Amino acid sequence: MSRGGLIKERDEPERRCIVTGEVQPKRGLIRFVAGPDGTVVPDLAEKLPGRGIWVAADRSALDKAAAKGLFSRAAKAPVKAPEGLADLVEAALARRVVELVSLARKSGIAVAGFEKVKGWLAEGRAKVLLQASDGSERGKGKLWTPPGGRWFGCLTASELGLSFGRDHVIHGALAAGGLTDKVILEAGRLTGLRGHDGGNTASGKE
């Protein structure tokens, strides 16, 4: 049981955010390391060597960490954050989500298009509903979040289109699988950076 009475999932690892000072699950944080040149480097894959510096996946938290010298304090050494750090992290996260959805499509666990997505939802096959942040609210409202699943509206129609090899995609769905779990993780972080839910009107949205 974590703070607030929420049940933790499978004893997931936690880290402390250098901005808020709160200990929380890693899935809601972004790892940074100090590069050889003393510049802070985002480590989205969490594989780079060095002491990890963790910041909440939130634009205001990243801006504060960069502006207040909190990275240096955490690293216990003089380090600098690159200009527009939050923008860099947001762009990198968006690329990761697009690439993961593309891999899911190639693996046969992702579909695009209103009718195909509606079919997967009706069959109970969909675990994640993806809808473009700039898509029609009327059209998006005709679909629903999978029971026990997730909804994300953090990608634009053109970004979602890249995942499916098209110019634009408004509706997408993912079936259960390891790649889908990775999409949920990264899309959750991207939503934190973009600070909105895309104005989704889908019934039952979580």
CA distance 151 to 57: 18
CA distance 112 to 42: 31
Q: Who has greater pLDDT, 52 or 201?
A: 52
> What local confidence, expressed as pLDDT, does residue 9 receive?
52
What is the per-residue pLDDT across 182-196, written as a single tens digit (0 to 9) for each?
999 999 999 999 975
CA distance 190 to 140: 20
Q: What is the mean pLDDT of residues 135-142?
A: 94
Q: What is the mean pLDDT of residues 12-38?
A: 96
Give residue for tokens 């129609």.
Answer: 157
pTM: 0.88
3 pLDDT above the threshold of 90: no
